[in-house]
Amino acid sequence: MTLKKIIFLINGLFFSLYVTLSFAQKLIPNSNIKANQTTFMTKDLKYENMSIVHKSSIYHNKTPKISGADLGLTGEKVNKHSLLNTFKRTFSDERIRQLLPEGRIVLTFYVSPSGNVLEVEFILNKTTLITATELEQLENNIKANVVFNFNQELTKGGDFFVLVQAVRFSKVLDGTLE
């Protein structure tokens, strides 16, 4: 075999490996996708969107004992820049630039009465460039860094609360996300 053929075969193997790894993580509606430690379920939604949640989620289809909306819970974060910092830890500025055409990601936080994030559900475009591994990292970073401040008198008797926030990638890039 000539050196050119060997180099061609090696390049072909690397390209095949890259394509396989890239598309194995691709989020596809109505499927289960494995990240490093987490398996996500995706569900087709209206308007070219899909929801993504842990396959083992215990909050996704559960109704809280007390509705946070009824209590007027606004979901004020202890550190108003914690979500921005979380996105910056998860995605580079270059990666955020790649995601700008998608517009936004919607986060549904399942939060304990003490304000800790228990789980996160994501709503993304069906054609998102975000991978399952990136979502796994994002969720882990959110759980570790984002805490909400609640009036403990209002949350007494609640098991968990649901808070929703749309995050525009442009606000992450320009640093104005709160």
> 31 pLDDT band (50/70/90 cuts)?
confident
Query: Is there a domain that residue 103 lies in?
Result: yes
Task: Using the predicted structure, report yes or no on whether residue 29 has a pLDDT greater than 90.
Answer: no
Residue 130 contacts residue 99 (beta carbons within 8 Å): yes
Tally of structural domains, the chain: 1
Say what percent of the chain tops pLDDT 90. Answer: 49
Domain containing 79 equals 27-174
Over residues 66-114, the pLDDT tens digits come to 765 555 556 678 888 999 999 999 999 999 999 999 999 999 999 988 8
In a domain, 8, yes or no: no
Let me know if residue 47 belongs to a domain. yes
Residue at 75 is within a domain = yes
Position 19 confidence tier, pLDDT thresholds 50, 70, 90: very low
User: Which pTM was predicted?
Assistant: 0.80
**17: in domain:** no
pLDDT at 75: 65
The answer to whether position 105 is within a domain reads: yes
Residue 154, domain member (yes or no): yes
Task: Calculate what percentage of the chain has a pLDDT beyond 70.
Answer: 81
Tell me the pLDDT of the chain averaged across its residues: 83
Positive or negative CA dihedral for 62, 65, 70, 72? negative
Dig out the tokens for 2 from the structure: 């000539």
Please report, for the domain that includes residue 45, its CATH number: 3.30.1150
Whether 15 has a pLDDT exceeding 50, the answer reads no
Q: Are 45 and 51 in contact (CB under 8 A)?
A: yes
